Amino acid sequence: MATSPALPATSRAWHLVARPNGWPVASDFALRETPVSEPAPGHVLVRNLFMSVDPYMRGRMNDTKSYIPPFQLERPMDGGAVGEVIASGDERFAVGDHVLHGLGWREYADVEVKHAVKVDAGIAPLSAYLGVLGMPGLTAYAGLLDVASFKEGDAVFVSGAAGAVGSQVGQIARLKGASRVIGSAGSDEKVKWLVDELGFDAAFNYKKGPVLEQLRAAAPDGIDVYFDNVGGDHLEAAISTLNVHGRATLCGAIAGYNDTEPTPGPSNMVMVIGKRLQLKGILVGDHYGMQEQFVGEVGGWLASGELKYNETFVEGIEHGVDAFLGMLRGENTGKMVVTLGK
Ligand code: NAP
């Protein structure tokens, strides 16, 4: 077994200690020390360098049946992370290799090699494998091109447009020949970034007025595709604005993730019939078959500078929960990432 000189004795890991009711609070979480040991055969010990905080993690804090199991109480939470192998129990992984894996929310991770994917810092910065070249990026790519059956000339509206998924959806639509790309986001700075930097044709701040009014003004000829990251009044406004035979990808409904009562559905569902709309959900896990195509095409756009991305970094494991809650409140532009060390 290959080991770098000194393994740490302990690692800090965020544990869920109470299930949030509504908005999570600091006392729902605890940062605890856990022992670190040499990896068993078929495992690697990874020093995490970047960990992801994602909206879906809020759902995992509830004790409800879903497509992904809930976090267990009094156990370390998990999620996407990229780190460096510091001890290896498998000849296919060497000390110094960088890997993407699913044991985030902790400083050191004992990862079974079948759950570790080598990543190359020479191709893209390591944090990009959690965002633009990772799960959110594939969600954007597959959600637009496959689930919404985007075609050249479509007018596209994306909510949560300044986030990890949304910022990529809008740019892919532009690069693939959308007739118009419209985004909504929660601050004037984000709106400016979408239009000035990412090349959206129009964007609006949903906090400044009714979504429907602002969307109609931004899309005088209606929209053909809606990429929904938000739900609620955004989805309702999109249904009203979609053209006949329009398509919507239902990707997320973050406006309701902290609701304590069931979130009401759109009041205008009957329009789906008259306009023959197609509303289709996406789970990124169904689309890993597109991974090679996604990395090839998006990697090319990144290399040529045609696709831009932003990351908001929060430093230190001790600020992991702050980063997660900040992301839910909209403190990120692009992907929210926690840095754990150099
Ligand atoms: P993100 O957009 O980078 O971060 C979340 C953003 O949501 C915040 O920055 C905030 O931006 C916005 N937000 C928070 N509360 C809101 C509200 N009440 N109304 C409107 N916007 C609100 O996160 P992401 O990782 O890219 O995920 C975006 C969406 O995709 C989420 O709904 C997530 O659950 C979903 N998703 C789904 C899949 C799948 O397989 N189905 C995979 C990945 C992500 P503002 O400042 O603009 O409010």
Written as one letter, the residue type at 167 is S
Task: Give the model confidence (pLDDT) of 196-248 as tens digits.
Answer: 999 999 999 999 999 999 999 999 999 999 999 999 999 999 999 999 999 99
Question: Residue 38's pLDDT is what?
Answer: 95
Residues 109 and 238 in one domain: no
- Domain of 94: which CATH number? 3.90.180.10
Q: b/e per residue, 34-60, with b = 16+ CB within 10 A?
A: eebeebeeebbbbbbbbbbbbbbbbeb
Residues 159 and 222 in one domain: yes
Residue nearest to atom 32 of ligand 1 (CA): 252
282 lines ligand 1 (CB under 6 A): yes
For residue 105, pLDDT over 60 is answered with yes
Mutate to test the pocket of ligand 1, among 147, 187, 206, 254 (most ligand atoms within 8 A of CB): 254
Range of the structural domain that residue 213 is part of: 135-285
Q: With respect to residue 189, please indicate whether it lies within any of the assigned structural domains.
A: yes
Residue nearest to atom 29 of ligand 1 (CA): 229
Q: With respect to residue 266, please indicate whether it lies within any of the assigned structural domains.
A: yes
Cα(230)–Cα(251) distance, rounded to whole angstroms?
Answer: 8
Q: With respect to residue 301, please indicate whether it lies within any of the assigned structural domains.
A: no
Question: Residue 2's pLDDT is what?
Answer: 61
Domain count, the chain: 2
Q: With respect to residue 46, please indicate whether it lies within any of the assigned structural domains.
A: yes
For residue 341, pLDDT over 80 is answered with no
The pLDDT of 143-150, averaged and rounded, is 98
Residues 167 and 228 in one domain: yes
Question: Residue 5's pLDDT is what?
Answer: 59
Residues 244 and 265 in one domain: yes
Question: Residue 3's pLDDT is what?
Answer: 57
CA angle 34, 102, 316 (to 5 degrees): 55
Q: With respect to residue 57, please indicate whether it lies within any of the assigned structural domains.
A: yes
Residues 140 and 281 in one domain: yes
Residues 28 and 72 in one domain: yes
Stated pTM of the model: 0.97
Domain-terminating residue out of 285, 301, 322: 285
Residues 114 and 206 in one domain: no
Question: Residue 1's pLDDT is what?
Answer: 59
Name the average pLDDT for the chain: 96
% of the chain with per-residue pLDDT over 70: 98
Cα(251)–Cα(284) distance, rounded to whole angstroms?
Answer: 9
Ligand 1 center to 101 CA (angstroms):
22
Q: With respect to residue 73, please indicate whether it lies within any of the assigned structural domains.
A: yes
10-14, 121-125, 138-142, 329-333: least confident range = 121-125
Residues 20 and 151 in one domain: no
- Domain of 169: which CATH number? 3.40.50.720
Extended strands (E) in the chain: 2-3, 10-16, 29-35, 43-52, 75-76, 81-88, 98-101, 108-112, 117-118, 155-158, 180-185, 202-205, 223-228, 242-250, 278-281, 311-315, 335-339
